[in-house]
């Protein structure tokens, strides 16, 4: 059934608005950019979800990335049930935490020790604190269009110029909290060079999404990540890869294995929790030994390493070791993006797509998309029309042109074919908008 009936979602949204800001518990779930009301989801299985009105959708959000095996995967549910029978939380060490740490360290050669936390925001915030602690420096360099959670120092608006001091991107964030945040353009090494020249011996670290996933899906240009590694080495700064989105999503060892770059610290989330709240940050033994209680850089969390989340994470990472897992995932993503490109080309519609592993993006723009300013050239009225028609046809996409999409193991060739069939009509509708 297509997503045309919305009476129950409308009623649920109205009730939510009375008690929840904006009716949603995360802004990315809102439909403000596309119109209409968010669909209230009742259940999921495989690559499909059903809303409270009974509408069925092929899901390309996957809880914003964690569900690489699909919804309600039997192996994950079994692991959670086994852990649940023993207790939900202890606030004490468990052997399963060590087992998960071992799997992470084996997959990522740059990570010798890892600390579990409960969210990506915690992971990035903690990694930056560690970088500042070990370097004795205060400034942090980030890139326009890269999102690293909502901690004050990283929640900055788009800067003007090549490398700028960050300005607060939200009321409630004191300007003093972002004065030590430096911004440069994504894929712009020259901007990074200028930042180091302007603030010599002051920048503690560079934090970067090795594949940007919050301005669509934007891969690094050739030499960008290599250049960041070299500039950090030259200037005594640490390189932090925010792989909350890309970790175990684009390759088993994340983007760092894909591009053969060794960061000093890595932030993980989403897939490592298998759909439950879990994240982590890690690096070399020398760096991680500076974290309390081994060292003086303090970080703690009551629910860190929660047994249910660890169980889900373990089941997920074990499943990823299946031979051919990532080649199949990549093939599905490529089939989808190639199909979308062919439809747009046939219609003479400016359009660009990209896919890497189980991650993809598209834009109503001729491309290439290499920066946030490029991403902002997307034809938003066409995107809104396309999104609406896809939703009506039973295809669930992110309600924003600035979010990456995700393929799971449970997406089959028939699901891609059905998606492209709906997309052809949606593209034709979008093409009528000038």
Buried b (16+ CB within 10 A) or exposed e, 149-178: bbbbbbbbeebeeebbbbbbeeeebeeebb
- Split at pLDDT 50, 70, 90, the class of 434 is confident
Are 394 and 1 in contact by the 8 Å Cβ rule? The answer is yes
- Tens-digit pLDDT profile for residues 18-44: 999 999 999 889 898 898 999 999 999
In the chain, pLDDT over 90 holds for what percent of residues?
89
Averaged pLDDT, 298-310? 97
- Tens-digit pLDDT profile for residues 165-215: 445 667 887 888 888 999 999 999 999 999 999 999 999 999 999 999 999
- Tens-digit pLDDT profile for residues 95-144: 999 999 999 999 998 999 999 999 999 999 999 999 999 999 999 999 99
The CATH class of the 74-319 domain is alpha beta
CB atoms near residue 223 (< 10 Å):
11
Centroid of chain to Cα 47: 18
Catalytic hit among 113, 142, 252, 270? 270
What Cα–Cα distance (Å) separates residue 375 from each residue in 361, 363, 364? 11, 8, 9
Residue 257 has pLDDT above 50, yes or no: yes
- pLDDT on residue 129: 97
Are 220 and 259 in contact by the 8 Å Cβ rule? The answer is yes
- Tens-digit pLDDT profile for residues 48-95: 999 999 999 999 999 999 999 999 999 999 999 999 999 999 999 999
Catalytic hit among 147, 186, 281, 396? 147
Write the burial class of residue 236 (CB in 10 Å: 0-12 exposed, 13-18 middle, 19+ buried). middle
Domain boundaries, the chain: 7-68+323-431, 74-319
Averaged pLDDT, 335-348? 98
The CATH class of the 7-68+323-431 domain is alpha beta
- Split at pLDDT 50, 70, 90, the class of 426 is very high
> Catalytic residue at 270?
yes
Catalytic hit among 51, 188, 242, 415? 242
- pLDDT on residue 162: 33
- pLDDT on residue 3: 61
- Split at pLDDT 50, 70, 90, the class of 160 is very low
Averaged pLDDT, 332-359? 97
Sign of the Cα torsion 141, 146, 152, 156 reads positive
Residue 263 has pLDDT above 60, yes or no: yes
- Tens-digit pLDDT profile for residues 365-407: 999 999 999 999 999 999 999 999 999 999 999 999 999 999 9
- pLDDT on residue 154: 84
- Peptide bond between residue 75 and the one before it cis (omega within 30 degrees of 0): no
> Catalytic residue at 242?
yes
Residue 164 has pLDDT above 70, yes or no: no
Which residue has better confidence, 68 or 163? 68
Q: Read off the tokens for 279.
A: 């994240």
In the chain, pLDDT over 70 holds for what percent of residues?
96
């Amino acid at each position: 059934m297509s997503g045309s009936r919305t009476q129950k979602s409308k009623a649920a949204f109205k009730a939510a608005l009375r008690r929840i800001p904006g009716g949603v518990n995360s802004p990315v779930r809102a439909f403000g950019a596309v119109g209409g009301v968010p669909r209230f989801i009742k259940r999921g299985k495989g690559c499909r979800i059903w809303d409270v009105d009974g509408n069925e959708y092929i899901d390309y959000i996957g809880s914003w990335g964690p569900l690489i095996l699909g919804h309600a995967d039997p192996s994950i549910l079994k692991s959670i049930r086994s852990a649940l029978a023993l207790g939900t939380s202890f606030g004490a060490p468990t052997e399963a935490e060590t087992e998960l740490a071992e799997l992470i360290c084996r997959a990522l050669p740059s990570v010798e020790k890892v600390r579990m936390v409960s969210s990506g925001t915690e992971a990035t915030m903690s990694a930056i604190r560690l970088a500042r602690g070990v370097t004795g420096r205060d400034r942090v360099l980030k890139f326009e269009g890269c999102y690293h959670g909502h901690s004050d120092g990283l929640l900055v608006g788009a800067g003007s110029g090549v490398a700028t001091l960050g300005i607060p991107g939200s009321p409630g964030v004191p300007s003093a909290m972002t004065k030590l945040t430096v911004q440069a353009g994504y894929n712009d090494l020259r901007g990074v060079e200028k930042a180091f020249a302007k603030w010599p011996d002051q920048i503690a670290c560079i934090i970067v999404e090795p594949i940007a996933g919050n301005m669509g899906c934007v891969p690094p240009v050739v030499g960008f990540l290599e250049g960041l590694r070299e500039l950090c080495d030259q200037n005594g700064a640490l390189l932090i890869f925010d792989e909350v989105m890309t970790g175990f999503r684009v390759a088993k060892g994340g983007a760092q294995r894909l591009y053969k770059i060794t960061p000093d610290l890595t932030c993980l989330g989403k897939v490592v929790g298998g759909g439950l709240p879990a994240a982590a940050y890690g690096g070399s033994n020398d760096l991680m030994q500076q974290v309390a209680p081994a060292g003086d850089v303090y970080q703690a969390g009551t629910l860190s390493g929660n047994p249910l989340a660890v169980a889900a994470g373990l089941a997920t990472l074990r499943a990823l070791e299946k031979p051919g897992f990532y080649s199949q995932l990549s093939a599905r993503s490529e089939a989808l993006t190639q199909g979308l490109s062919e439809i747009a080309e046939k219609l003479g519609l400016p359009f660009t797509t990209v896919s890497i592993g189980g991650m993809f993006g598209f834009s109503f723009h001729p491309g290439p998309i290499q920066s946030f300013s490029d991403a902002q050239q997307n034809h938003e009225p066409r995107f809104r029309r396309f999104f609406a028609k896809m939703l009506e046809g039973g295809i669930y996409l992110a309600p924003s042109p600035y979010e990456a999409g995700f393929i799971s193991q449970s997406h089959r060739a028939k699901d891609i074919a059905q998606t492209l069939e709906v997309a052809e009509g949606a593209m034709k509708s979008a093409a009528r908008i000038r």
